[in-house]
Structure 1
């Protein structure tokens, strides 16, 4: 037997030919969908000199008020070391502030500052326009249904 030929006793489910195609692969399809959607949002973020990760942090703090840095990292899907770098950058621009929790000195709390709120208000018209374009293309109900289905998948 050569190395090029799979053993004949290998179950069909384990043969390389039984792999799903990239089009049938859920992880790959989700990544492709994300990249497709982000092509609409990246120019908006670049226009406002923001990275995707910075925008996620700013949005979270806008929506939730002051938050523990570990919670921000988890909910923004950013590793803690990356969040530290993002925090330093945003703090340097006075977009956010950070402070130690008085009750637990190990915790760092992050808060959106007026400059951060101004960014939200500057980005909002472009953000709305992109969602209007998505709704015009796919339909509001379809997008709502997609978001519900994705939430079910997330909570699987």
Structure 2
């Protein structure tokens, strides 16, 4: 799974459903990229697409149980890794590093596409 595919899956895991534009906005991806990713994820049965009951021209995308299982399993694995990192680096140093990384990300927000 690519980093962009993972971003789409995480966005859908946090939302009940979204349209492609909403996914693109929240995952910070361009619409054509999201369209390609959604096709691949549909083929892998990680997401499902349904017609919007209020607007038949619009599709609603949601995560499947298989997709949610992938997110949950990955989260468990990531938690174990982060615990090991904290042991190796020191919990206080790791927290300080994460705070600096968040500060860097906030400082770089002005460079986001569309801004």
> 1:146 aligns to what?
101
Is 1:64–2:19 an aligned residue pair?
A: no
CA RMSD of aligned residues (A): 2.4
Is 1:109–2:60 an aligned residue pair?
A: yes
CA distance in 2: counterparts of 1:151 and 1:93, whole angstroms: 34
Q: Which of 1 and 2 has greater Rg?
A: 1
Q: 1:84 aligned to 35, 47, 51, which one?
A: 35
CA distance in 2: counterparts of 1:131 and 1:78, whole angstroms: 27
Secondary structure in 1 matching 2:55 = coil
Map residues 38-77 of structure 1 onto 2, 5 A cutoff: 50-77=1-28
**Alpha-carbon deviation of 1:134?**
6.7
| TM-score, structure 1 normalization | 0.58
Structure with bigger strand share is 2
| TM-score, structure 2 normalization | 0.75
CA distance in 2: counterparts of 1:155 and 1:106, whole angstroms: 34
Asked which structure has the greater RCO (Cα within 8 Å, sep 6+), the reply is 2
Deviations 1:53-93 (A, max 9, x none): 11101111111221121010122122212211111111111
Q: 1:120 aligned to 48, 71, 86, which one?
A: 71
CA distance in 2: counterparts of 1:61 and 1:84, whole angstroms: 14
